[in-house]
A = this chain, B = another copy of it.
Amino acid sequence: MKVGGKHYTTIWPNADGRAVDVIDQRWLPHEFRVATLRKLSEFATAIREMWVRGAPLIGVTAAYGVAWQMAEDPSDAALDDARNVLHATRPTAINLRWALDLMRNHLRNLPPEKRAQAAYAKAAEIARLDIETNKAIGANGLEIIRGIAAGKKPGEPVNILTHCNAGWLATVDYGTATAPIFLAADAGIPVHVYVDETRPRNQGAHLTAWEMVAHGVPHTLIVDNAGGHLMQAGRVDMVLVGTDRTTASGDVCNKIGTYLKALAAADNAIPFYVALPTSTIDWTIADGLREIPIEERNGDEVSLVWGKTADGTITRVRISPEETPDANPAFDVTPARLVTALITERGVVPASREGLAPLAPERGA
């Protein structure tokens, strides 16, 4: 997507043919910084310290980390070492392990002298596949936006409410929930995005709002409390969010607060869509509410808010009494009954066992 009129992805090979450049997302939205990764330890730090974040982007960064290491030392020992160092950065990230295993399996049967080139090529392929998947999600979602636009007066925007950041910063490009929005904007369909700030970590205010500014998409930041009123007032045409995990029955686990927006959408007969790559469907789980464990994160995320002071200092401020305890569940589950449809790279399907069945791996294309 665009930043200041120039096309960027979140990660790309440096001009030197060895190092890798990434957008250092820790400083967004206040500063746009690019970091060049030139050591295995720098790739590890970039993932662990969340210079890069989002499952797809973490996987691609790790793949490039392996490639870097192969250019340094293509031995079996170095390959194992790269895998172990990078895997330890965020051990629960399934996509990270998937990318590292893919790289190792691809490289270990090659002679060492061919590994570096093959590794850079494979990392680039993983990145390209991510972009293709997201573009396909975008193309499928675009038709939904186009349909809503067709019912509007000429020039009247389609108002889309989104929660958290399922944007291009979490992927290599396009994002998942944002892909239909960017494609619609690029196609000249008037869109306007209500961006939930998404407390406690404010990914909406920090990242989604920044993406919209950078690519030039009309948008408005709102507090998470406001969406229900906007829907009651007829100011939202559709809700479009991402998901971390979707069950085989269509229950959607996503950032905390998503469920509240789904309830409000249902109460006001506004369509509620979830965009996802089919790789994030968990076919082993049927009942999302009973079976998906919800991560409880550090309460400091609730009581301390990160931002920039008037003099430009980037810091945290405490909003509550020191003595007050916090609870910080990070995700919630939206039951399938509240989801209008799932937008995947393989088509738009109902959020139900029957709707998802054609996408199951054993029956997949």
- Residues of A with Cβ closer than 8 Å to B? 29-30, 194-195, 197-200, 202, 205-206, 209-210, 212-213, 219-230, 232-233, 255-257, 259-261, 263-264, 267, 289, 294, 299, 302-310, 315-321, 323-329, 331-333
Contact = CB atoms under 8 A, between A and B. Distances in A.
B324 A219 contact: yes
A307 to B, nearest CB: 3
A327 B194 contact: yes
Top-10 shortest CB links A-B: A225-B257, A307-B317, A229-B332, A199-B223, A263-B263, A29-B321, A205-B320, A228-B259, A260-B260, A209-B324
Nearest to A303: B221
Contacts of A315: 309-310, 317
8 contacts: A205-B303, A205-B319, A213-B321, A226-B327, A263-B264, A304-B307, A309-B316, A309-B317
Contacts of A259: 228-229, 232, 264
Contact of A220 (B263, B310, B325): B325
Given A213-B324, A224-B257, 4 more contacts: A213-B323, A226-B329, A263-B264, A316-B317
A30 B210 CA distance: 31
Contact of A206 (B194, B307, B319): B319
Given A226-B257, A263-B228, A267-B263, A197 B327 contact: no
B206 A329 contact: no
Given A319-B202, A329-B226, A212 B324 contact: yes
Contacts of A294: 229, 233
Contacts of A227: 260
